[in-house]
Structure 1
Amino acid sequence: MLRRMTERGREEEHRTATPLELFFDLCFVVAVAQAGRQLVHALAEGHPGHGIPGYLMVFFAIWWAWVNFSWFSSAYDTDDALYRVVTLVQIAGVLVLAAGVPRAFSASDFTMVWLGYAVMRLALVSQWLRAAHAATGPERRTALRYAIGVSLCQVGWLGLVVLPGPARPWVFIAMALLEMAVPVCAELGRPTAWHPHHISERYGLFTIIVLGETVAAATTAVQSAADEHEALGELLPIAAGGLLIIFAAFWIYFAVPIHLHLASNRQAFVWGYGHYLVFCSAAAIGAGIEVAVEESVGKARIPTIAASAAVTVPAALFMFTVWLIHSRHHKRGPAQQLVLPVSALTTLACTFAGTWAVLAAGLVGAATVAVGVTLMARQGEGEGREGEGEGPRDAPTDAAY
């Protein structure tokens, strides 16, 4: 029923995600889907200046709440009754936030978004206070810094509700920076005992769920467009290209054992914070495919090049960000280092391929995977020849992406 909330060991073996954490992730995707849907409407209506900033703001709230729970649970998951109840309260908060996303986009009314975010954050504060109650010395001070910092930031977010519209983007920028400074300041004296393998698995699982939501959104868009317009000739290249992009995104992300890189807070902060762009772009790919489908059947009020950019820009951003924070740490030589940056630029160039842009970007993604696999195989063969006569060697863990 109730256990003492003490830190779990960073060297603990067989540490994997729990069913509660998976349920938590699944409920968060509801909010991701809402944000993506609103982005589709804004882009299809030709309002990127309104839709993109709104998407980035709402997605930050979703992502940051997920990040805070994931790192806390990696260090302090007791899995007792109280811990489960508080986690379910956080899930209720994200559902309230998801319900408020349409009003945040259409009317710049962040009241419900703020309320849902407050439920999630105050539940997290109670977890940190519980950890502080069970701890002593530097560990206790770290937990209290988290509780105080999160509480103060939640008050600061009220600016999105009470201040006039022109001030809200500045409030968002300031509060986002302050939010990300809380973990950095809280762990200066003593870092929490997050688990490298566990946290890398958590990020990987959320990547899978976001890509799955992208597949679902794109499939629904193609199905509805085909039913209404019977335009299979225009839709099939988009469907094929979109599927190739998503498959390539999955392959590229999971090509490296990233937990081997997460040895300190410095590495973990850069890697963890950088995933805002990874998750954000992965979800936006699905929204972009929906926009491309709507444009192909005449439902979107934008030119073809704008619809193409809705797919190619997030796809290129995903490739480059994954390389920058994730896979470049496992590369050897300039050939492997250049694969993803060059692929990202080539994907951007596909924007100008007209109605074939999505398919062209998908083929670039497939070629990226093929080149990466080939380079990795050659590296393995070279290391195998070098190791002849030296006895057994471990298989290479580096990937070419």
Structure 2
Amino acid sequence: MPVRMRARRRDEEHRTATPLELFFDLCFVVAIAQAGRQLAHALAEGDPGHGLFGYLMLFFAIWWAWMNFSWFASAYDTDDPLYRVVTLVQMAGVLILAAGVPRAFTGSDFTLVWFGFLVMRLAMVAQWLRAAHASRGAERRTALSYALGVTVCQVGWLGLLLLPQGDVPWVFLCVGALELAVPGLAERAWRTSWHAHHIAERYGLFTLIVLGETIAAATLAAQSALDEHDEPSSLLPLAGGGLLLVFAAYWIYFAVPVHRHLRSNRQAFLWGYGHYLVFGSAAAVGAGIEVVVEESSGRARLSAFGAAACVTVPYAVFLCTVWLIHSRHHKRGAAQQLVLPVSALLVLACTLAGRAAVPAAGLVAAAAVAAGVHLTSRQGAAPVE
């Protein structure tokens, strides 16, 4: 039988991610893989403008749907049969969205993407209405505000289907801004009881999934190149550099206990919204490595410099964003504060190395980790990268 959907306590002990949440995250891997694959194809074909815009827009849909569920679940997860069924419906929605990613990229046909998003949002509205039914006063108004906001935004996304193709960027910017405003507007009267340790764990686990997809994309690209050319020696430096980049990204992200920083809605929202760039840039690194592999095997329509930038630019964005929203709050002194920004600049400089850019950037990332560890041990600060 369904239970009353009461808010969970902020100080609840041993609050961790559930198997259902992990299953939910795994379904998003499919959508992330589709977006990354289309980005890599567009970049390799020498069409970065179309590829980047399509990637940023579709990754926003993926990330925002994941965000909506994760913050709601942190406050209201009842884990009863009805909650599980509605969550499974959301998972079906993201798979529909993933199936529509190629059409959205190549033909600007957003029908399947919109329908998959609709399935997820209807399930999300149902969750908020259930929470409103079980609450009173300001909490009830907040839940109803979320339900109304999500519904209005979903109607707004109809512009992708009904308006001319030239208006798609404006629809994305306007409705996307409205989506970002909904949580702040809804929680003016009452703040949902999200759990700082739980939400930090959820973001960390999703970061791991994105990094895993980056490794998978790079591995498949290398395997394809080997099948065609059978020259592993040319791919070894690239593989080594790619692994260093991903391993360093893991180390840098998980070096600090960020849940201690998430004390207010303002801090949490800025941190949570900033992960659009963290997740998006991490996944784009995998697409960039695919492009570098294709360029090294003569299958890409861009220069070695351009292919290198497909890796170094998103990795620099990753480093800067992690520092800005995540790591800097736990650093002591100018030396520690400068490690990631300086490393980002050095990674960008590696672009000039052309085909040697990925191994060079990997060495820079490894050096950043080593420098962070050394400064931490010397200054006796909390663990940082």
Cα distance in structure 1, aligned partners of 2:354 and 2:5: 57
Other-structure match for 1:370: 370
Other-structure match for 2:209: 209
Residue 93 of structure 2: SS of its match in structure 1? helix
TM-score, normalised with respect to structure 2: 0.99
Other-structure match for 2:282: 282
Other-structure match for 2:330: 330
Per-residue CA deviations over 1:314-360 (Å, capped at 9, x if unaligned) read 11100000000000000110000000000000000000002100000
Q: Is the 8 A contact 1:262 1:268 kept in 2?
A: yes
Per-residue CA deviations over 1:6-25 (Å, capped at 9, x if unaligned) read 00000000000000000000
Residue 353 of structure 1: SS of its match in structure 2? helix
Give, as a single letter, the amino acid of the residue that structure 2 aligns with 1:135.
S
Other-structure match for 1:141: 141
Cα distance in structure 1, aligned partners of 2:299 and 2:230: 14
Give, as a single letter, the amino acid of the residue that structure 2 aligns with 1:42.
A
Cα distance in structure 1, aligned partners of 2:291 and 2:71: 34
1:399 is aligned to 2:377: no
Give, as a single letter, the amino acid of the residue that structure 2 aligns with 1:274.
G
Q: Is the 8 A contact 1:304 1:354 kept in 2?
A: yes
Deviation of 1:400 after TM superposition, in Å, equals 3.6
1:40 is aligned to 2:34: no
Cα distance in structure 1, aligned partners of 2:302 and 2:56: 21
Deviation of 1:255 after TM superposition, in Å, equals 0.5
Cα distance in structure 2, aligned partners of 1:399 and 1:172: 39
Other-structure match for 2:165: 165
Other-structure match for 2:101: 101
Aligned residue runs from structure 1 range 77-156, under 5 A: 77-156=77-156
Aligned residue runs from structure 1 range 162-311, under 5 A: 162-311=162-311
Give, as a single letter, the amino acid of the residue that structure 1 aligns with 2:200.
S
Q: Is the 8 A contact 2:252 2:384 kept in 1?
A: no
Q: Is the 8 A contact 1:139 1:190 kept in 2?
A: yes
Give, as a single letter, the amino acid of the residue that structure 2 aligns with 1:40.
A
Other-structure match for 1:392: none
Give, as a single letter, the amino acid of the residue that structure 2 aligns with 1:103.
R
Query: In angstroms, what is the RMSD of aligned CA positions?
Result: 0.7
Residue 239 of structure 2: SS of its match in structure 1? helix
Other-structure match for 2:72: 72
Deviation of 1:379 after TM superposition, in Å, equals 1.4
Aligned residue pairs, count:
385
Q: Is the 8 A contact 1:36 1:284 kept in 2?
A: yes
Q: Is the 8 A contact 1:74 1:195 kept in 2?
A: yes
Q: Is the 8 A contact 2:96 2:112 kept in 1?
A: yes
Cα distance in structure 2, aligned partners of 1:136 and 1:35: 41
Aligned residue runs from structure 1 range 20-31, under 5 A: 20-31=20-31
Other-structure match for 1:315: 315
Other-structure match for 1:391: none
Q: Is the 8 A contact 1:221 1:293 kept in 2?
A: yes
Q: Is the 8 A contact 1:231 1:297 kept in 2?
A: no
Cα distance in structure 2, aligned partners of 1:354 and 1:26: 34
Deviation of 1:399 after TM superposition, in Å, equals 3.2
Cα distance in structure 2, aligned partners of 1:153 and 1:374: 48
Residue 17 of structure 2: SS of its match in structure 1? coil
Deviation of 1:231 after TM superposition, in Å, equals 2.5
Per-residue CA deviations over 1:364-391 (Å, capped at 9, x if unaligned) read 00000000000011112xxxxxxxxxxx
Per-residue CA deviations over 1:45-70 (Å, capped at 9, x if unaligned) read 00001100000000000000000000
Give, as a single letter, the amino acid of the residue that structure 1 aligns with 2:120.
M
TM-score, normalised with respect to structure 1: 0.95
Cα distance in structure 1, aligned partners of 2:216 and 2:104: 24
Other-structure match for 1:357: 357
Q: Which ranges of structure 2 fall in alignment gaps of 5 or more residues? A: none
Q: Which ranges of structure 1 fall in alignment gaps of 5 or more residues? A: 381-395
Deviation of 1:227 after TM superposition, in Å, equals 1.8
1:347 is aligned to 2:347: yes
Per-residue CA deviations over 1:276-321 (Å, capped at 9, x if unaligned) read 0000000001000000000000011110001000000111100000
Give, as a single letter, the amino acid of the residue that structure 2 aligns with 1:337.
Q
Q: Is the 8 A contact 1:332 1:400 kept in 2?
A: no
